[in-house]
Amino acid sequence: MENKAEKVKIGWKALFSKKVILAALGLTVIIGGGAGAYLVKASENPAFCAACHIMQSYYDSYHDSDLLANKHAEADLVCHDCHESSIAIQAEEGFKFITGNYQVPLEKREFSREFCLECHDDFDTMVKAATNFEESNPHDSHNGEMECTVCHNMHQESEVLCSECHIFNWIDQLDESWVKS
């Protein structure tokens, strides 16, 4: 007759058998993978970005504003169309949010002219023609080729660099997404 100590020892041994450990590990991988896949899919929806309170103003400017972010939303673009990031970067951002290790306001992301022209590839024809004001054309600047983000902002009002030195009548004709000083 086995004593109680031997039964407990056999019970623990059975509990930690290879089959049980592999089953638990497999279940953990399935649950973790499913949760990860869900988060990746959910993060494609711009409303997901607003789940973090520090992102609310960015979502608001995307969802309902006169700003360029909303104009991109109206063109059926989503946050990740411009803010491409890997799962590792998203996990890092999530960790920073959970731990409070972030700055407010968030650091402004810079995009190159080449990045913007991946979608706005008709620059020479449409954009220059649409801004060919009688006095000047801000896209045909004497400053040469500049980064789009010098003037154009997505989540806040855009600013006309020309107005730092020049007074053009067309500046007052710009819509509400522009600072008019």
Q: Which residues pair with 32 in a beta bridge?
A: none
Q: Report the sign of the C-alpha dihedral through residues 109, 48, 63, 60, in that order.
A: negative
Q: Is residue 107 part of a domain?
A: no
Asked which of 17-26, 93-102, 168-177 is least confident by mean pLDDT, the reply is 17-26
* 123 or 170, which is more confident: 170
**pLDDT tens profile 26-69:** 888 888 888 777 776 777 788 887 887 788 899 999 999 999 99
Instruction: Give me the pLDDT at residue 2, please.
Output: 60
Instruction: Give me the pLDDT at residue 51, please.
Output: 80
Q: Is residue 47 part of a domain?
A: yes
Residue 63: domain span? 4-99
Same domain, 118 and 152: yes
Total of domains in the chain: 2
